[in-house]
Amino acid sequence: MTEAIRILHVLGGTGLGGAESRIMDLYRQMDRERIQFDFLVHSDAVRRAGDDASRRAPQFYDQEIRDMGGRIYVLPRFKGYNYPAYRHAAEAFFAAHHEFRVVQGHMTSTAGIYLPIAKKAGVPLTVAHSRAAGVDGGVKGIATRFLRRNLARKADLLFACSVPAGEDAFGKEAVRRGLVRIVHNAIDAARFSYDPVRRGEIREQLGMADNLVIGHVGRFDPLKNHAYLLDVFAALCEIRQDAGLLLLGEGGGMEAAKEKCAALGIADKVRFMGNRKNTEDYYQAMDAFVLPSFYEGLPGVLLEAQAAGLQCFVSDVVTREAQATDLVNYMSLSEPPAKWAQAILAGAGYDRKNTCKQLVENGFDVREQAKRYANFYLNGDSSEL
């Protein structure tokens, strides 16, 4: 039997993030006797080439990756001042690993460093893949912009999950000239399809059978704008005393969110659910999904919410390319939270339907995308992606 080709995905980590979840959705659909995924991630536990990667704390997808035959490798987390150590570690890694057919860099902040190193070491095909339509504020964002300069000339292929994501990482001119292939994120649509029986079961388990349940899925990070989301929910509670909020995700901003809940007097109505493997159940329990992000590439969670048949209330900076159904309501963050609350309440009585077929027909289903990716990995032809 011919040995499977190996594809290396470069990420910040293997936690429950958007890019990681989309890659795992894809990985599950691969014929792993022909195509295997490996992961090169970053950690503070590794300072230089040769450090013991086992010191890195396990992350959400680690065990599943290993169960499917994937391998996880670790580079030092890039800090700017450790540029020589980071570059040396990348050089040492690719000097020792010649098995990869494709290196796909989803961490574009340092892709301009590691992708040319991979190419020089003999990797046949390198891909810079942009999955966000913005960068963090402050010094970190300035550094990311600096590191991305000329990235369009440092990879064999350029992918982006949306036009804004492509423009942000590679520049408008690269997108205009057709140098960037737009590969929309895709999900396992059937997994999230509306199930009224399961909806009733999970709402009963949560003790929210008769509540108006609002939901959000995303890490606690400034770009997700949880502070505004909580203001919207507080305004909703003034109108509907039975309102409840489900927050799925973890992150450094969780404690600040809990403190704001207490200050707003809504702590008893907000459920911090953490990271969950069965997110599909919680979408079933919701009556509306709210995503007031400051920027997004093409949010998989918005696709998941639409697949679950949910009315979605989304900031108008989120790309229209994520509108797979007519369930998405775009609203401005300059509007007072009360206006969002009123819109959510006005839409609460909708007839919820199974919209899975629409996502499949509109190209957002991972099963079909996996077939195209398999052809790309095996043959190097990205034209059908």
The dihedrals phi and psi of 126, each to the nearest 5 degrees, come to -115, 140
Closest residue by Cα to residue 312 from 226, 216, 193, 187: 216
Is 5-186+365-379 a CATH 3.40.50.2000 domain? yes
* Kind plus residue range of the DSSP H or E element containing 37: strand 35-43
Write out pLDDT tens, residues 9-51.
999 999 999 999 999 999 999 999 999 999 999 999 988 766 6
Q: What's the pLDDT score for residue 136?
A: 78
Q: What's the pLDDT score for residue 138?
A: 75
Which strand ranges, in their side-by-side order, compose the sheet holding 35-43? 72-76, 35-43, 5-10, 100-105, 125-130, 157-160, 180-182
Q: What's the pLDDT score for residue 1?
A: 62
Q: Domain extents for the chain?
A: 5-186+365-379, 190-358
In angstroms, rounded to a whole number, what is the distance separating the alpha carbons of residues 237 and 265? 10
Q: What's the pLDDT score for residue 145?
A: 86
What does the pLDDT profile of the chain (385 residues) look like in tens digits?
Answer: 689 999 999 999 999 999 999 999 999 999 999 999 999 999 999 887 666 677 899 999 999 999 999 999 999 999 999 999 999 999 999 999 999 999 999 999 999 999 999 999 999 999 999 998 887 777 777 778 888 889 999 999 999 999 999 999 999 999 999 999 999 999 999 999 999 999 999 999 999 999 999 999 999 999 999 999 999 999 999 999 999 999 999 999 999 999 999 999 999 999 999 999 999 999 999 999 999 999 999 999 999 999 999 999 999 999 999 999 999 999 999 999 999 999 999 998 899 999 999 999 999 999 999 999 999 999 999 999 9
Write out pLDDT tens, residues 204-224.
999 999 999 999 999 999 999
Write out pLDDT tens, residues 70-82.
999 999 999 999 9
Contact 123, 102 (CB under 8 A): yes
Q: What's the pLDDT score for residue 161?
A: 97
Q: Report how far apart, in Å, the C-alpha atoms of 180 and of each of 7, 41, 185 are.
A: 20, 24, 15
The CATH code of domain 190-358 reads 3.40.50.2000
In angstroms, rounded to a whole number, what is the distance separating the alpha carbons of residues 112 and 40? 15
In angstroms, rounded to a whole number, what is the distance separating the alpha carbons of residues 34 and 28? 13
Q: What's the pLDDT score for residue 50?
A: 66
Residue 226 CA to its chain's centroid (Å): 16
- Would the CATH topology of 5-186+365-379 be identical to that of 190-358? yes
Tell me the pTM: 0.94
Q: What's the pLDDT score for residue 48?
A: 75
> In the structure encoding, which two tokens stand for residue 241, read together?
């005393």
